[in-house]
């Protein structure tokens, strides 16, 4: 556990992502929980070791499984973006339910898991006034439709969720990359001294530049490949060769990272394909209107 500011604690050792605790004077606001219940209980024990204040709220920065599974443990309000609530309906799917029950059962020897839907949602911004602190939940998007961040203005601390990956390959399978780049640009204009990324070590705003460059370079390469008529698989093979070494990883993680880079490549390829179809549709409609106008002018 790290102390990043007075009363603000983070843990970056969990494989599922970073988590935080904000001690307010009127209770603790958690930012995400570890995916596995055993790790979640470990995290809650760490919180109890540094404060006698009870956990009073949980802000969930995304709807991904790694953020959603262990929220059922806490009997406190769960706060998330509107899109996270909508996307979490998938957890009622029988196949998904079975997979998560197996995950929980393997972790703690039994499973009483059930989906925990957020009870409080917001569209752009929500502010908690607790004790002497303000805790701001801010919509960001980009990484996924429900991505949000948590800002403590008094201490200039920003929990970014997966809007920021620091020194690790980003997950991009649900990304809107133009929006992601815009979110990173906006983040760098904020009054922030300390960033707690979704994955990777605690950092400052300067650490977001490599991620922006990675996304821009990836988009540029995939755009050229798409415009040259190369297939999605041809494009992803070239992207893996070019970008696999962009961030460090343990050799034991090579296959997982390859799949992650491929997932990002495929997602951006689909973005360009969607944009091209939309542009073609607009062009066809404009041509039809122009033809109709000419015909109307010559009876």
The residue ranges of every structural domain in the chain are 2-155, 213-286
Q: How confident is the model at residue 111 (pLDDT cuts 50, 70, 90)?
A: confident
What pLDDT is stored for residue 285 in this prediction?
A: 61
Q: Where residue 112 falls among pLDDT bands split at 50, 70, 90? A: confident
What distance in Å separates the CA atoms of residue 178 and residue 176, rounded to the nearest whole number? 6
Angle at alpha carbon of residue 177, lines to 176 and 183, rounded to 5°: 95
Output the pLDDT for position 286.
Answer: 57
CB-CB contact of 15 with 204 (8 Å): no
Q: What CATH homologous superfamily does 2-155 map to?
A: Ribonuclease Z/Hydroxyacylglutathione hydrolase-like (3.60.15.10)
- How does residue 299 score in pLDDT terms, banded at 50, 70 and 90? very low
Q: What is the pLDDT of residues 127-154, one digit of tens each?
A: 999 998 999 999 999 999 999 999 999 9
The per-residue pLDDT for range 27-49, each reduced to its tens digit, is: 999 999 999 999 999 999 999 99
Kindly report, residue by residue over 18-28, the tens digit of the pLDDT.
999 999 999 99
Average pLDDT value for residue range 88-116: 88
Segment 223-248 shows an average pLDDT of: 97
Q: Rounded to an integer, what distance in angstroms lies between the CA atom of residue 57 and that of residue 20?
A: 12
Judge whether residue 110 has pLDDT over 50.
Answer: yes
Mean pLDDT of 64-86: 95
Residue 274: the pLDDT is 93
pLDDT reported for residue 278: 79
Per-residue confidence (pLDDT) for residue 114, from 0 to 100: 84
For residue 218, pLDDT beyond 70: yes
> Is the confidence at residue 296, as pLDDT, over 90?
no
pLDDT of residue 73: 93
Q: What angle do CA 265, 267, 272 make, to 5 degrees?
A: 95
Nearest to 193 by CA among 147, 250, 155: 155
pTM above 0.85, yes or no: yes
**Which residue reads 């542009």 in tokens?**
279
Query: Are β-strands 157-165 and 148-152 bridged in parallel, bridged antiparallel, or unpaired?
Result: antiparallel
Mean pLDDT score of the chain:
93
β-partners of residue 133 are: 130
DSSP-derived pairing of the beta strands 55-59 and 78-81: parallel
Residue 83 burial (CB count, 10 A): 19
Rounded to 10 degrees, the C-alpha dihedral 11/208/16/159 comes to: 50
pLDDT at residue 292 in the model? 60
**How far apart (Å, rounded) are the C-alpha atoms in residues 122 and 140?**
12
Query: pLDDT over 90 for what percent of the chain?
Result: 85
pLDDT > 50? residue 295: yes
Q: Look at residue 288 and tell me whether its pLDDT is greater than 70.
A: no
| Residue of 284 and 206 predicted with greater confidence | 206
The mean pLDDT value for 178-204 works out to 98
Edge to edge, the sheet with strand 55-59 lists 2-5, 8-11, 19-23, 28-31, 55-59, 78-81, 120-122
């Amino acid at each position: 556990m790290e102390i990043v500011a007075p009363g603000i604690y983070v843990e970056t050792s969990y494989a599922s992502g970073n988590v935080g605790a904000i001690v307010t004077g009127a209770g603790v606001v958690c930012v995400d929980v570890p995916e596995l219940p055993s790790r979640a209980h470990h995290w809650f024990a760490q919180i109890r070791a540094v404060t006698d204040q009870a956990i009073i709220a949980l802000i969930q920065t995304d709807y991904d499984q790694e953020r959603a599974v262990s929220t059922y443990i806490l009997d406190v309000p769960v706060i998330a973006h509107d899109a996270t609530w909508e996307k979490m309906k998938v957890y009622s799917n029988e196949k998904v339910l079975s997979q998560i029950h197996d995950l929980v059962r393997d972790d703690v020897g039994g499973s009483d898991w059930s989906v925990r839907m957020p009870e409080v949602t917001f569209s752009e911004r929500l502010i908690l006034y607790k004790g002497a602190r303000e805790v701001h939940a801010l919509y960001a998007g980009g990484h996924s439709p429900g991505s949000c961040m948590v800002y403590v203005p008094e201490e200039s601390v920003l929990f970014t969720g997966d809007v920021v990956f620091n020194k690790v390959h980003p997950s991009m399978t649900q990304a809107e990359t133009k929006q992601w780049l815009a979110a990173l640009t906006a983040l760098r204009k904020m009054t922030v001294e300390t960033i707690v990324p979704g994955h990777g070590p605690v950092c400052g705003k300067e650490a977001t530049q490599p991620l922006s460059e990675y996304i821009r370079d990836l988009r540029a390469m995939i755009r050229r490949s798409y415009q040259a008529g190369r297939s999605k698989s041809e494009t992803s093979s070239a992207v893996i060769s070019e970008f696999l070494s962009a961030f460090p990883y343990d050799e034991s993680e090579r296959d997982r990272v390859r799949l992650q880079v491929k997932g990002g490549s495929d997602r951006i390829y689909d973005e360009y394909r969607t944009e091209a179809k939309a542009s073609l549709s607009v062009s066809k409609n404009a041509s039809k209107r122009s033809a109709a106008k000419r015909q109307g002018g010559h009876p």
